[in-house]
Structure 1
Amino acid sequence: MANEWIERWREGRIAFHLPETHPQLERHWSALDIPPGDKVLVPLCGKSLDMRWLADRGHPVLGIEFASEAIEQFVAEGDGEVSRYRQGYFDVWRQGSVEIWCGDFFHLHIDNTREIQAFYDRAALIALQHPARQRYAFHLAQLLPPGAKGLMITITRSILPEKGPPYNVEPEEVRQLFTPNFELELLDVLPADDRGFSEHVWSLVRRGPSEG
């Protein structure tokens, strides 16, 4: 999976990249009532412009991305000085209030996320094949403190057989994956587009240890 992802970036096969801020982020983020200053984790971030949108609204951003090509393009297309350093398993690029760590999301440790209060997932869960999605949901929960809020966008596909990413993730699977550790609310379901993709927009809140 990792090698395939890197090859996609090297060859420019990045149809999944949205060259603008995701409209559902713009529409629904304010409903989460996340105050400016809260740091936002963006797993499998690519070179998403959503990170700049969040930064422009006062959120420090921590993106995690496996392909260094994506990060190099992100900072090249942005403004401002870029600093680079090493943090554990990760090479880090920082530009303004956005820092992107290059490496495996599953190597991210809770010690690296102590300042995180929120998260945004537009392309992480749907980029993973079925066996990895359970691991992702559990690992995300371990990285977040109780009360952390997030916005997640998933996709169902009416045109099968499935080829991805993005992968088809049915609402029932989302509930099975996240309900044990998050309060989950489906905010919106968009009509299928011409590819048969329908986006589902979710609000999540990390449960406390005594909540079930």
Structure 2
Amino acid sequence: MENEWLARWREGRIGFHRDAPHPALRHHWPRLGVRPGVKVLVPLCGKSHDMRWLGRHDHPVLGIELAPQAVEQFLDEGGEAVSRYRQAGFEICRQGNVELWCGDFFHFHIAQAAEIGAFYDRAALIALPPATRQRYAFHLAQLIPPGARGLFISLNRAAGEELAGPPFHVPEAEVRELFEPNFQITLLERGDPEPGSGFQEHVWAMVRRGPID
């Protein structure tokens, strides 16, 4: 899976990338009640414009991305000064209030996540095959403090549609099974099926449970 992801970026097969911030982010994020100044974790971030949108709305952003090509393209498109350093096996680049950690999300640990207070997942879980999604949900829960809020977008396909990916079909029942042990989750929106792909986006609000929830 890691080699497939890197190959997609090397070859420019990035149809999942959007040329503008996601409408669901613009619509739903302000309603989550995340305070200005709270740092937002964006796993498997690619070169998403969503990170710049969050940055413009007073959130420091920490994106984690495996593909160096994605990181460098994001920085080139930003057109601002970049600072670079290395920590805990990650190559880290900072541009404005967006910080990109280039490396394996599963090697990012709680010691690096101390300042994170919110999260956003538009393309992380749906990029992972079934065998890895449980690991992802558990690891995300370890990084997010109790009470932290996030926005998550999953993809459904109609029954009988081809299920090859990425992106992968993740049904509602699986989303609940993966996240409800550690998060309070609320389905906010079911989008219209996308012409040609059959995908339907589901938008979720999530709150990390505390010890007594």
Q: Give aligned-pair identity as a percent.
A: 61
Distance 2:161 2:108 in 1: 34
- Post-superposition Cα deviations, 1:143-175, rounded to whole Å, max 9, x if no partner, equal 011001000000001262212111000001000
Q: How does 1:72-151 map to 2 (within 5 A)?
A: 72-151=72-151
2:78 partner SS: coil
Q: Determine the C-alpha separation between the residues in 1 that align with 2:48 and 2:162.
A: 28
Structure 1 match to 2:188:
187
What's 2:45 paired with? 45
For the residues of structure 2 that align with 1:10 and 1:131, how far apart are their CA atoms?
25
For residues 42-65 of structure 1, what are the alpha-carbon distances to aligned partners after superposition, in whole Å with 9 as ceiling and x for unaligned? 000000000000000000000000
CA distance in 2, matches of 1:153, 1:9: 22
Q: Name 2:175's counterpart in structure 1.
A: 174
One-letter identity of the residue aligned with 1:164? G
Secondary structure in 1 aligned to 2:111? Answer: helix
Name the count of aligned residue pairs.
211
Q: Return the offset for 1:79.
A: 2.8
Equivalent residues of 2:152, 2:204 under 8 A apart: yes
Give the drift of 1:111.
Answer: 0.5
Distance 1:181 1:4 in 2: 30
| Paired residues of 2:94 and 2:100 also in contact (CA < 8 A) | yes
Matched with 1:67 is 67
How large is the Cα RMSD of the aligned pairs?
A: 0.8
SS at match of 1:19: coil
Gaps of 5+ in 1: none
Residue 199 of structure 2: aligned partner? 197
Give yes or no for contact 2:193–2:200 (8 Å, CA) kept in 1.
yes
User: Of 196, 208, 211, which aligns to 1:209?
Assistant: 211
Q: Could you state the TM-score of these two structures normalised by the residue count of structure 1?
A: 0.98
* Cα distance, 1:80 vs structure 2: 1.5
By how many angstroms is 1:3 displaced? 1.0
Q: C-alpha offsets along residues 6-37 of structure 1, whole Å, 9 cap, x if unaligned?
A: 11101100001011100110010011011110
- Give how far 1:210 is off: 2.0
Query: For residue 116 of structure 1, what is the amino acid of its counterpart?
Result: I
Does residue 165 of structure 2 align to residue 164 of structure 1? yes
CA offsets per residue over residues 127-153 of structure 1, 9 Å max, x none? 000010000000000001100100000
Unaligned runs of 5+ in 2: none
